[in-house]
Structure 1
Amino acid sequence: MSSLAPLNQLVTRFQEQIPIRASSLIVTLYGDAIEPHGGTVWLGSLIQLLEPFGINERLIRTSMFRLTKEGWLTAEKVGRRSYYSLTGAGRRRFDKAFKRVYSSVVPQWDGSWHLAMLTQLSADKRKQVREELEWQGFGAISPVVLASPRADRTDINATLLDLDALEDTILFETTGQDVMASRALRAQVRESWRIEELGAQYSEFIQLFRPVWQALREQDSLQPMDCFMVRLLLIHEYRKLLLRDPHLPDELLPGDWEGRAARQLCRNLYRLTCAPAEQWLSSAMETADGPLPDASENFYRRFGGLR
């Protein structure tokens, strides 16, 4: 147990999930902490690192086996020890999943829209395409029309090709319009992207982590293990929120949008805990070549700069 009550509350909340999301936390651990240090780690040190979160060895081994089977990780035996590394496909998945987490700027919007019309798809295929495009930030304007103010045509085409729906989906791009959103457009955004529901989830995130931020700021010295645990749970929870967030332009969001405050809190808390957490990782993690390598330079560019 930590001496920080807000951190203990976070750990308890994580442990009370049924079932406990060990694989998801391991994905966060690799993306946030192991990938910047080369992407490979000894299973034994991983088990020790996750023990304070209440994840037992058996569950970790089961989770690592599942992630390996799903193509995220690959295992290598050196003597009696197993070392797990990211696969090439796993690294690309991490890059895609975590890219938005550490971004320091939100791209400006020119007022243009991407539209996808699903009228020529079967009902089953339409449902499949709609779910995949919603993960990419599209909202449903109607049961057969999806829209996004931010989309990459290459990514859209790749998704539709993977779903065997490219030839039967009608795509449009509008020209740039006045970025000042009308009342009708704001109302449509609230309906199509469930903004109020997402805002409530951001509020919960703030309520969870603001006490941790305040408690750490009152400490005379920061404990490396506490900082590592805070950082991992912080990114774990924030990453899950971003997966649900369509990242709409500011012009389409409410003036008191909680996502802005959540991002500021995440950035500040990450910067505060980063250096002590790195100390803990260096002392606790081990590779086949010995100590954990230094973090890459790209790591220190997160959230606009960590140094």
Structure 2
Amino acid sequence: MTSLLPLANLIQRFQEQTPIRASSLIVTVYGDAVEPHGGAVWLGSLIQLLEPMGINQRLIRTSVFRLTKDGWLKADKVGRRSYYSLTGPGRRRFEKAFKRIYTSSLPAWDGTWCLAVLSQLEADKRKQVREELEWQGFGALAPTVLANPRCDRADVAATLQELEALDDTILFETTAQEVLASRALRLQVRESWKIDALGAHYSEFIQLFRPLWQALREADRHEPQDCFLARTLLIHEYRKLLLRDPQLPDELLPGDWEGRAARQLCRNIYRLIYAPAEQWLNQVLETADGPLPEAGENFYQRFGGLR
């Protein structure tokens, strides 16, 4: 049991979820901790790693089985042991989500917009396309018109192609304009992207993790297991927020946007505890070849540089 009260409170909060989102937490662990070290670990060591989080062995096995069935994980048998890693599609889905977490900064906005008109789609298909595009950062300006101030036209076209909706979706791209947003545009952004609700979630994140940051700064020593647990819960909660966040340009956001403070807090905590957490991972996790390999160089580029 951890001696850090804020960490104990975070673990208790996770355990009190109904139901416990073990599968989602395992995806977080693979993205944050396993992938940088080669991507495949023995199930028994994964169980040992996660049991202090309050997830029993049976739930971990059930969750891993479900993730395998859903195409996120695959198993390789070596003797009587199973070693699990992300599948190709699972890795691509993970990379889209986790790239948002660790990037140091977003590119400057040039004032252009991408518009998607869905009026020619059948109702069921329109709903499916709208949900996918909103996940990619689009907001609804009208029931059948979505907009995104920062997107890759090729990625949007590829998504529409996968959904078999490209031929029936109208895409426009505006020319660059003055990036200073008007009052009307700011109000529209606030409404279309539900900025107030997202800001409230960021405020909750800050209230949850600021006490942990203070306790870690004051601690004489950082226990490796505590650091792993703290890092996992930090990225798990932050990942859930970023999946809701369209990552709009600063020019369209309120001056006191809570997302900025939340990102700074996440980066500060991660930089402080990543190294002891790595020690714990190396101590607990096993691959088919034995100990974990060293983390790749990309790992140390997270949040603008860890070293």
TM-score range, shorter chain: over 0.9
In the alignment, which residue of structure 1 is the partner of 2:32?
A: 32
Task: Name the SS of the counterpart of 1:100 in structure 2.
Answer: helix
- Cα offset for 1:29? 0.1
Task: Name the SS of the counterpart of 1:112 in structure 2.
Answer: coil
State the distance in 2 between where 1:170 and 1:260 align.
34
State the distance in 1 between where 2:201 and 2:158 align.
30
Letter in 2 for 1:20: I
State the distance in 1 between where 2:175 and 2:125 align.
29
State the distance in 2 between where 1:55 and 1:159 align.
35
State the distance in 2 between where 1:76 and 1:190 align.
47
State the distance in 2 between where 1:187 and 1:281 align.
46
Letter in 2 for 1:256: D
State the distance in 1 between where 2:47 and 2:303 align.
29
State the distance in 2 between where 1:45 and 1:243 align.
29
In the alignment, which residue of structure 1 is the partner of 2:189?
A: 189
In the alignment, which residue of structure 1 is the partner of 2:46?
A: 46
- Cα offset for 1:121? 1.2
TM-score, normalised with respect to structure 2: 0.99
State the distance in 1 between where 2:91 and 2:184 align.
42
1:83 aligns with 2:96: no
- Cα offset for 1:126? 1.3
State the distance in 2 between where 1:220 and 1:195 align.
39
In the alignment, which residue of structure 2 is the partner of 1:69?
A: 69
State the distance in 1 between where 2:11 and 2:199 align.
23
State the distance in 2 between where 1:15 and 1:147 align.
38
- Cα offset for 1:74? 1.1
- Cα offset for 1:146? 0.5
In the alignment, which residue of structure 1 is the partner of 2:104?
A: 104
Letter in 1 for 2:184: A
In the alignment, which residue of structure 2 is the partner of 1:283?
A: 283
In the alignment, which residue of structure 2 is the partner of 1:95?
A: 95
State the distance in 1 between where 2:112 and 2:292 align.
46
1:143 aligns with 2:131: no
State the distance in 2 between where 1:135 and 1:87 align.
21
- Cα offset for 1:119? 1.2
In the alignment, which residue of structure 2 is the partner of 1:123?
A: 123
Task: Name the SS of the counterpart of 2:82 in structure 1.
Answer: strand
1:248 aligns with 2:248: yes
In the alignment, which residue of structure 1 is the partner of 2:10?
A: 10
Letter in 2 for 1:181: A
State the distance in 2 between where 1:298 and 1:119 align.
42
- Cα offset for 1:89? 2.0
State the distance in 2 between where 1:66 and 1:196 align.
35
Letter in 1 for 2:148: S
- Cα offset for 1:88? 2.0
Unpaired runs of 5+ residues, structure 2, are: none
In the alignment, which residue of structure 2 is the partner of 1:113?
A: 113
Task: Name the SS of the counterpart of 2:219 in structure 1.
Answer: coil
Question: Number of residue pairs matched?
Answer: 307
- Cα offset for 1:264? 0.3
- Cα offset for 1:169? 0.7
- Cα offset for 1:47? 0.3
Moved more, 152-161 or 262-271: 152-161
State the distance in 1 between where 2:217 and 2:74 align.
39
In the alignment, which residue of structure 2 is the partner of 1:60?
A: 60
In the alignment, which residue of structure 1 is the partner of 2:133?
A: 133
1:202 aligns with 2:230: no
State the distance in 2 between where 1:302 and 1:219 align.
24
Task: Name the SS of the counterpart of 2:75 in structure 1.
Answer: strand
Letter in 1 for 2:274: C
Letter in 1 for 2:112: S
- Cα offset for 1:77? 1.5
Task: Name the SS of the counterpart of 2:101 in structure 1.
Answer: coil
Letter in 2 for 1:275: A
Task: Name the SS of the counterpart of 1:25 in structure 2.
Answer: helix
Moved more, 88-97 or 231-240: 88-97
State the distance in 2 between where 1:216 and 1:101 align.
21
In the alignment, which residue of structure 2 is the partner of 1:157?
A: 157
TM-score, normalised with respect to structure 1: 0.99
In the alignment, which residue of structure 2 is the partner of 1:300?
A: 300
Identity %: 78
Question: Which aligned pairs between 1:232-243 and structure 2 lie closer than 5 A?
Answer: 232-243=232-243
Moved more, 187-196 or 93-102: 93-102
